[in-house]
């Protein structure tokens, strides 16, 4: 299930959904350096990069070249795919769709990004977090 804050989630992600985009972004951002360092090596190809790029391409299509060096660019396609396959298909009625649309509204998840600094009044107690998360997820409180 997608859980990115800007797509209505809580910002808690599966490691498996982050692994390939993280690796591809890291490898793509250092390709020039790798080429420079490994220029004299006879087998300077990164087999792992080619394998993961192939996996990503088979799921989401060929990425734009030059390859993006930011993980969010690689990750966005997977999030949008998860949204289309899982979230949209799970709406049972108009209330659930309305709840979801309000959770993806601009700035609706900003409270999840605030640092819990007590001296600045930014720390929510456990009950406030329970209610806020429950409301965001549409749970019965």
Nearest-angstrom CA–CA distance, 111 and 124: 10
CA distance readout (Å), 30 to 17, 20, 34, 80: 22, 16, 6, 26
In this prediction the pTM is 0.55
> Within a domain: residue 104?
no
Provide the number of structural domains found in the chain.
1
> Within a domain: residue 115?
no
Q: What is the pLDDT along the chain (141 residues), one digit of tens a residue?
A: 445 666 666 666 677 777 888 888 888 888 888 878 877 776 667 778 888 888 888 888 877 778 888 887 888 777 777 776 677 777 888 888 887 778 777 788 787 888 888 888 888 888 988 888 888 777 888
> Within a domain: residue 122?
no
Residue 83's domain comprises 5-91
């Amino acid at each position: 299930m997608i859980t990115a804050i800007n797509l209505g989630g809580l910002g808690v992600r599966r490691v498996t959904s982050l692994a390939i985009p993280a690796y591809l972004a890291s490898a793509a951002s250092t390709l020039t350096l790798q080429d420079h360092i490994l220029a004299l090596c006879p087998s300077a190809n990164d087999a792992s990069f080619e394998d993961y790029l192939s996996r990503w391409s088979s799921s989401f299509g060929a990425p734009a070249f030059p390859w993006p060096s930011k993980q969010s660019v690689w990750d966005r396609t997977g999030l949008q795919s998860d949204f289309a396959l899982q979230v949209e298909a799970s709406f049972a009625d108009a209330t659930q769709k309305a709840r979801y649309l309000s959770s993806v509204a601009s700035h609706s998840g900003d409270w999840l990004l605030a640092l819990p600094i007590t001296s600045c009044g930014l720390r929510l107690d456990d009950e406030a977090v329970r209610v806020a998360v429950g409301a965001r997820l549409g749970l019965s409180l």
